[in-house]
Amino acid sequence: MDVVGVGALNLDLIYEIDFNKLPKGGKYPQEIIGRERGAAPEEFSSLLKKVKKNGRLLKKSGGGSAANTVYAMAKMGFSCGFIGKVGKDKEGKVLLKELKEVGVDTTKIKQEGKSGICLILLDKKGERSIFISPNINDTLRDNEVDIDYINKAKFLHMTSFLGEISFATQKRIAKEAKVPLSFDPGEPHATKGLKKLMPILKRSFILFPTEKEVEILTGKDYKNGAKELLGYGAKIVVCTRGEKGSYIISQEGEWEIPARKEKVVDTTGAGDVYAAGFLAGLLKGASLPLCGRLATKSAAQSIKGYGKERYPSKELLTNFLKEQG
């Protein structure tokens, strides 16, 4: 296979809502807006009830950062597999069906318990908050991961889990995998700090942190922070900066890639699709700046719809490569 993904699998519930209506009787805490975090079962259930009452459901879609990346790559024509867990429930069936429909190998996804749910809240001003109820995602153990399966791929792409059991499993995977590791820490992992992440960082071939995650991990601005992260062992660090574009640094050089101006419908998963486009470029033998431009075009395509509605296709990849000669 081209890529095997390892990470959480969630059913995304995307709602439009006025943040001022949450929580009931008060203003939604400003420190939460724009953040991604886990929520205890009681908090998540209470919040979901308020959202259903005061918000408007825009889309139900399969999610999870690594799953989004693998899904996008499969749509672009690459051979992909996934390792993770879903529940033995209707949500789990939806998650597996979506991946299978684009050709992702799901034979290494285990079914038990209750599926993870991700509540994504959008307001008309463009603000976004994400609350995650991880459920079965937080129970991925060593004996549920086939390292030989991973080692048959050209790349391993990993993203964050919330729970310590699955995080410990990821560290073991990073140690034993023999293929290049692509790692997107996400805010949940970034907040663990450099020391806890080091077993994965030093084994990574390419890192995909956001500007905020670079600052959380290093306490530095995106350029100096990315340079520091490069020093821990990665060959390439790609810092995504939203509407400001992205910054790529390797031992060969550094490049600023501007964002593409598009009408934004939903930015959820845009960073995951960026990673898909970048890995697609690497697999096609493109230069790093060209990988960045392909990644930017892929992400710009994804934000035109909700969930996976407008994820890039094989046609987009083919046309881009033709345009670039």
The whole-angstrom separation of Cα 286 and Cα 7 is: 26
DSSP 125: T
Establish if 109 belongs to a structural domain. Answer: yes
Report DSSP letters for 251-295, one per residue.
TTEEEEEPPP----S--TTHHHHHHHHHHHHHHTT--HHHHHHHH
Specify if 41 maps to a domain.
Answer: no
- Neighbour tally for 58: CB within 10 Å: 17
In a domain, 171, yes or no: yes
48 residue type, one letter: L
Residue 20 in domain: no
Q: Would 42 be classed as within a structural domain?
A: no
Q: What is the pLDDT of residue 152?
A: 96
Judged by average pLDDT, the poorest of 26-30, 82-86, 140-144, 201-205 is 26-30
Model pLDDT, residue 23: 58
Is the model's pLDDT at 145 over the cut of 70?
Answer: yes
pLDDT tens per residue, range 82-138: 999 999 999 999 999 999 999 999 999 999 999 999 998 888 766 778 888 999 999
- At 239 the pLDDT is 97
Domain that holds residue 102: 3-8+64-115+135-323
Residue 35 lies in a domain: no
Q: In this model, does residue 251 exceed pLDDT 80?
A: yes
Tens-place pLDDT, residues 154-176: 999 999 898 899 999 999 999 99
CATH number at residue 182: 3.40.1190.20
The mean pLDDT value of the chain amounts to: 90
> Does a structural domain hold residue 95?
yes
Number of other CB atoms surrounding residue 178 within 10 Å: 11
Domain assignment present for residue 50? The answer is no
Q: What is the DSSP letter of 305?
A: S
Looking at the 3D structure of the chain, how many domains does it have?
1
59 class by beta-carbon count within 10 Å (0-12 exposed, 13-18 middle, 19+ buried): middle
